[in-house]
Amino acid sequence: MTEPFHPADNAPAPRPNFVLIGFMGSGKSSIGRILATKLGFPMVDTDALVVEAAGMQITDIFAWKGEEVFRDYESKVLRALVDRAVHGTVISTGGGIVLRPQNVALLHELGFVVLLTANEDVLFERVSRNKTRPLLHTPNPRETVSQLLAGRAPLYTAAADFTLDTSARSHTQAADAMIAEARGRFPLWNPGF
Ligand code: S3P
């Protein structure tokens, strides 16, 4: 007697997207790069896609066109990733991506949403290393970080499938923790190592 044929047996194992969200300085880009290298996945960054779409740097978009125009670009590039049905990709997002509820729905359509966190002092120390974040061009950036974080924390938590504190983890440890979590959640996916 022949074995019954299960089409699912021959289906390619789904390669999930890892969608990284979190406050500025939480490590989305740097940890995302390590994660992508480990997995052999490409990486995209919504900030970079916005710069490409707008043809100008983020500080210039904020200065000349305002935050709402930046947010419109951000939603547009996120929508485009969903429309392209990207898969097997590490997607790093801008820290304000969760501000629009429609973006949160798109994040979930894209894949496994990982919230990277760090304590406030660590975040501030990390964002102080470069001055490319227009929202922190204020008289008291430390206080601005505090206020933005307090307002956004519930939005980040609500949007996350999984939360990882990066304060005391190396980039490699953080990437490994995400892979370990994803293995459990995507049993058909075999990262091959
Ligand atoms: C922003 C975070 C930035 C960038 C823009 C606005 C925010 O991205 O999208 O400056 O609102 O938190 P990073 O989180 O990668 O710094």
Written as one string, the DSSP assignment of 76-124 is HHHHHHHHTT--S-EEE--TTGGGSHHHHHHHHHHSEEEEEE--HHHHH
Q: Is 31 in the pocket of ligand 1 (CB under 6 A)?
A: no
Of 37, 32, 7, 11, the residue nearest 21 (C-alpha): 32
> Which residues, given as ranges, of the chain have pLDDT below 50?
1-5, 7
pLDDT at position 14 is 75
Instruction: Taking the CA atoms of 32, 186, 40 and 102 in sequence, report the sign of the dihedral they define.
Output: negative
State the amino acid at position 38 in one-letter form.
K
Closest approach atom of ligand 1 to CA 24:
14
pTM of the prediction?
0.94
pLDDT at position 193 is 87
Closest approach atom of ligand 1 to CA 23:
14
pLDDT at position 130 is 85
pLDDT at position 192 is 87
pLDDT at position 10 is 57
Residues 174, 116: contact at Cβ < 8 Å? yes
94 alpha carbon – ligand 1 mean position (Å): 4
25 alpha carbon – ligand 1 mean position (Å): 9
* CATH number of 15-183, picked from 3.40.50.300, 2.70.170.10, 3.40.718.10, 3.40.50.800: 3.40.50.300
182 alpha carbon – ligand 1 mean position (Å): 25
* pLDDT tens sequence across 142-172: 999 999 999 999 999 999 999 999 999 999 9
Closest approach atom of ligand 1 to CA 67:
6
Closest approach atom of ligand 1 to CA 133:
10
Q: Is 71 in the pocket of ligand 1 (CB under 6 A)?
A: no
